Structure 1
């Protein structure tokens, strides 16, 4: 299997996510705080737990009543949040005008993994529209961590992309031959930039016919953009960037095979891969030998800026992916039965069956795409991480429940797409809150499989199941450009610009 998630965007933001190695006194301080927090959580919820146990219904002997209770429990587990009549809306306003840009060309090198590139390409469509440019089909990243040699048409339906956006931006497959050797303005556009920035960049057309954009990720702001630009981003990402016919066809087959195994399934983005654990410095539950192997990998990976990471602080801060064991406890506490079909959307799990068994011991009905497809069907996708990731993406979007074990480009992209499609059920674990609960388990304050554990986990996640909400801004008190990178990404939650209520017109300024 392949690892398809990259970290080029993470490395530049590493000061946000990681703290450098701290003194033993600092570690002791965090442990004391964690213990106090654990006691507080248990005490705070204990009254509710006892009340819930007191309210347990008397034993039911009627088969009909048992059936109704089981159905109610089933609905809670699988039904999507109430969407309040919200639906996708991407139609431009009556004032919207398409870009001409016949003699101005923009070339783009997309960077990152599949979902980082997808978001970047959608943004470059919007940037080309703002700058009145003709967009040349973007070049995909071939030099980063996963070394994928795929070109645009290997992953996306190129003709569909061009035709779908023809009323928005002129798109061509390649530069005109007479401009191939022409001098170009090579730009690293500033991150999180708004319309006024790109209107200023349009002055480059006075001296150049071609602008080359070296990086596509995070070039456009999340908020405070014109209504029509936001909707154009959604049209580009959700309508125009359709996967290639080969990927779509195999994805459909895999979905049919999953449905033949069970009526419903969970797509679990189990981000317990070697590169992720090494990059984040998370070693909880690993042996000393494994932890050292990850440390050496981090030291030897030049583009990862932070080398010394305190694993304890990472975990306490909720910055580590859940381990397979923690995922199993989490799903069990939410009430999913052991027979639940779980599709693993991920690369190779670190430690293989040794660590994966900590999940399969609780949920044995687990499947990877390698078990759903034949070797022949997957042969064309071998050594092409982004194409393989596209299959996981399709299956994750169509799942009854999607659960990511860590935040990241795919987790955010799938969550946003599922919101766009009708707020399909997406459970995002509160990793920081779960750490306190798991530590109570390890210390014996809570018992594995107990109703108290289940109560704590369910209460912690009542509002984390994909229900409609507006996109979150930066935390209060944060000033300067740094606040932009702390806002909730547009593609993680395209509400309200691309999601409308039943009483809102979708063709005017909403």
Structure 2
């Protein structure tokens, strides 16, 4: 009886269930409601993660408590993502018309000048010049007499064997002159700056009287624009492929990048040009004491190869010709939306004034990292007193950073920006130094305070200054003659369009 009763109740319930079957329209409504609710919860969760969570705080350097300024709700992806590159890619292979140089009995010797990146761009140009002049290039001498007083030779800084081998399809390169030519008379030339192919073709007349031409300076000897496509691509092959750093520098540089990533994930590389020589050379004394300003003036007066001695510091700053101060960099990065926990690697020499000036940055961003805090003394021992080699470590870390910010547009800043463009337009934020002066002055006078209004102003000003693809700028309008070359954007700052291509129909094969 019990069994039948249970069965009867079950049958009754089942019958009632079928009798009240839901209509298709009601089922559709419930389905759409559940789907919409799920989408809402997903985006709420993603937004919560990306906006509210800061990158992990690295344990490398915490010099001071964070400057108390309001947090700015800028989207996390917006801070770190690479600009859209429109499908552009590297293109450095020669065209079908290209022929390698064959001048095995003619030799070009070169004395490079300047710091690391001035020498790198100059050496890359000399590769192209050797090709135009159909010459064998002797491994260049590095600058040992400039401000840096560095005794490094080529193989200390660069991988000499790789340099020779990677360009063997373009020019012949030898480590030194043949013994039988060491004592022969040489043509000693200061090639004209920003010269074109025609100029160097004219210089080949020297081969009728000399077997060796010595180039006394290598920087800016080749034009930025209006050169054959194959010459421009050869410059890129030399700069970005052949001039690899020596194995000790490459290996340590990669280890330091890995350490930065393991501690803090993403990081900013800040090229902070606030060294004594830079401030003295530019005549920039804003924010310095009278004693510091006088010290810089005396250094400028006593440095023979700095031609300009009297400089108006105020005019320099208003014109945007001064490096940002550590304090200004801190205000700038915060206004862009970077949180105080952001790891910032400082690529620089000795900061003028030491922690007195640096604390104005570290008070806002405590996670300040130098190579000296990232590497062990043992690792840095072999690079001590060799400015070119330590600069090469900074170069590697800057090129590999998630965001690169130069406080001044010097040789390294331009070289790093160009390399990052070549590698896929990695994010590079170029401060509008001239435009920022007015904002900083309003902060100083109290007309403006840090917060949403300041952030909006800075972000609007730099919307199109973050490394997105664009063609290289030509000379400024209204400037004629050779003076126009100084106003052009340097080739190695932006090798687009010759070495960065879109579809195959646009710029030859890749």
Normalising TM by the smaller chain, what interval?
0.7 to 0.9
How many residue pairs match? The answer is: 448
Match of 1:167 among 162, 166, 169: 169
Q: Is there any run of 5+ residues in structure 1 with no aligned partner, and where?
A: 1-60
Residues 226, 278 of structure 1: alpha-carbon distance in 2 compared, 3 angstrom cutoff: same
Q: Report if aligned partners of 2:50, 2:76 keep a CA contact under 8 Å in 1.
A: no
Distance 1:505 1:454 in 2: 39
> Is the deviation greater in 432-441 or in 65-74?
65-74
Match of 2:48 among 43, 61, 66: 66
Alignment-derived partner of residue 111 in structure 1: 113
Distance 1:65 1:339 in 2: 19
Residues 64, 129 of structure 1: alpha-carbon distance in 2 compared, 3 angstrom cutoff: closer
Residues 180, 507 of structure 1: alpha-carbon distance in 2 compared, 3 angstrom cutoff: same
Q: CA deviation at 1:503?
A: 4.0
Alignment-derived partner of residue 43 in structure 1: none
Distance 1:156 1:84 in 2: 33
TM-score of the pair, normalised by structure 2: 0.86
Distance 1:169 1:68 in 2: 51
Distance 1:413 1:453 in 2: 30
Distance 1:294 1:423 in 2: 37
Q: CA deviation at 1:484?
A: 1.0
Correspondences of 1:432-451 after superposition (within 5 Å): 432-448=434-450, 450-451=451-452
Q: CA deviation at 1:302?
A: 1.0
Question: Per-residue displacement from partner, 1:252-279 (whole Å, max 9, x unpaired)?
Answer: 1111111111110000000000000011
Question: Per-residue displacement from partner, 1:337-381 (whole Å, max 9, x unpaired)?
Answer: 000000000000000011000000000001000001111110110
Match of 1:342 among 334, 341, 344: 344
Alignment-derived partner of residue 497 in structure 2: 496
TM-score of the pair, normalised by structure 1: 0.86
Q: CA deviation at 1:62?
A: 5.9
Distance 1:485 1:383 in 2: 33
Residues 226, 64 of structure 1: alpha-carbon distance in 2 compared, 3 angstrom cutoff: closer
Q: CA deviation at 1:474?
A: 0.5
Correspondences of 1:450-469 after superposition (within 5 Å): 450-469=451-470
2:431 maps to 1:429: yes
Question: Per-residue displacement from partner, 1:25-75 (whole Å, max 9, x unpaired)?
Answer: xxxxxxxxxxxxxxxxxxxxxxxxxxxxxxxxxxxx965553355588111
Secondary structure of 2:137's partner?
A: strand
Secondary structure of 1:106's partner?
A: strand
Match of 1:91 among 93, 110, 131: 93
Secondary structure of 2:311's partner?
A: coil
Q: CA deviation at 1:306?
A: 1.0
Distance 1:388 1:363 in 2: 24
Q: CA deviation at 1:133?
A: 0.2
Question: Per-residue displacement from partner, 1:107-144 (whole Å, max 9, x unpaired)?
Answer: 00000100000000000000000000000000000011
Alignment-derived partner of residue 192 in structure 2: 190
Secondary structure of 2:75's partner?
A: helix
> Is the deviation greater in 219-228 or in 291-300?
291-300
Q: Report if aligned partners of 1:91, 1:506 keep a CA contact under 8 Å in 2.
A: no
Distance 2:96 2:143 in 1: 37
- Bigger Rg, structure 1 or 2: 2
Correspondences of 1:273-352 after superposition (within 5 Å): 273-352=275-354
Residues 95, 64 of structure 1: alpha-carbon distance in 2 compared, 3 angstrom cutoff: closer
Alignment-derived partner of residue 478 in structure 1: 479
RMSD across aligned C-alpha pairs, in angstroms? 1.4
Question: Per-residue displacement from partner, 1:131-166 (whole Å, max 9, x unpaired)?
Answer: 000000000000111000000000000000000000
Alignment-derived partner of residue 48 in structure 1: none
Q: Report if aligned partners of 2:332, 2:458 keep a CA contact under 8 Å in 1.
A: yes
